Amino acid sequence: MSDSAGWSLTESDPGVFTGLLHELGVRGVEVEELWGLDEALLRDLTPVYALIFLFKWVGHADPATMDGKLEEPEGPHYFAHQVINNACASIALLNATLNIRSPDVQLGEELGNLQAFSEGLDPETRGWTISNSEKIREVHNSFARSDPFHLEEHRPQDESEDAYHFIAYLPIGDKLYELDGLKPQPVSHGPIPGGPENWTNHAREVLERRIATYPAGEVMFNLMAVTGRRAALRKLLAETEGDEARQAEAFDAREKLDAIDERLRDWETENTLRRHNYIGLVHALLTELAKQGKLAPQIAEAKEKMKQRIADRRAKGEEVMEED
């Protein structure tokens, strides 16, 4: 895999993922965070097109013992490899989105062209096509938190740091598939009991088995749903307009839609703040506080805390830098 030069890390945040899709021109879907996979919760998000799962990456599983099996889906499908570091969030999201087959979802010009261009390409070439797309890279990087001290040169990853990875689960045909850009093929989890409309129940069982392989108490997981709920609620409101017998249903739909629209506005504000570089504001505040002589106590307190940390590390036999 190539290094991460030119691609920033992406937060596991539904507002970020929704913003990514919308700025790429996708309409008819949003991304919602999930705190569980119970039926009532998923029913409220209907239709759920895919699940995006974030987990601690511990290396490639042995194909002989892995849950599911490597298998190419029958019929049309999209699967791209991750060929560059830090791109797994966008790869998982695109692998999910480009497999949605719904008239209520519009891919937009950028992803529509990508899908058409990728027809017949192998997964690795599709991965390079995504990684070489200036538009996708620009949108991906636009959601990175502003870092005024970012260095362009590549820094080798510290092997002691935990690595996290995004993958997608979704139905293709009558089977549940796991799309992991680091694996050579999609992973089939077999036919969906009860048919494709019950795919989230099957996905819950698969996810529970996967989480159970981690040590007890491990909580570094995150799950999000790619959903068309907003478009479905709008369609429902149009269908119930003027129908007196369905006014209670329409009222409930309007309340849910208003809540979603408010959340989207909040996410837009959060994304704007996420992108802003605050170094100028912080510098101006510190300069003014220094002029007023109000930083001396804080500086003295910080020095004492540093001395204590150094003393604690020395007591543990750790190597430390000499004090200034």
| 179, β-bridge pairs | 168
Query: How high is the pLDDT of residue 155?
Result: 46
Looking at the structure, tell me whether residues 258 and 152 fall in a common domain: yes
Q: Mind telling me the catalytic residues?
A: 88, 165
Helix (H) or strand (E) holding 290, with range, is helix 279-291
For residue range 105-120, list pLDDT tens digits in order.
999 999 999 999 999 9
Structural domain includes residue 220:
yes
Looking at the structure, tell me whether residues 116 and 185 fall in a common domain: yes
Alpha helices (runs of H) in 213-246, residue ranges in sequence order = 229-240
CA distance 54 to 159: 19
**Mean pLDDT for the chain overall:** 86
Domain membership of residue 307 as a residue range = 281-315
For residue range 48-106, list pLDDT tens digits in order.
999 999 988 776 655 565 788 999 999 899 999 999 888 999 999 999 999 999 999 99
Looking at the structure, tell me whether residues 55 and 196 fall in a common domain: yes
Query: How high is the pLDDT of residue 299?
Result: 83
For residue range 176-214, list pLDDT tens digits in order.
999 999 999 999 999 999 999 999 999 999 999 998 888
CA distance 230 to 48: 11
Looking at the structure, tell me whether residues 171 and 200 fall in a common domain: yes
Residue 55 makes CB contacts below 8 A (sequence gap 6+) with 164, 165, 167, 210, 214, 220, 221
Tokens 């036919």 belong to residue: 191
More confident residue, 146 or 245: 245
**Is residue 14 within 8 Å of residue 32, measured between CB atoms?**
yes
88: tokens are 């797994």
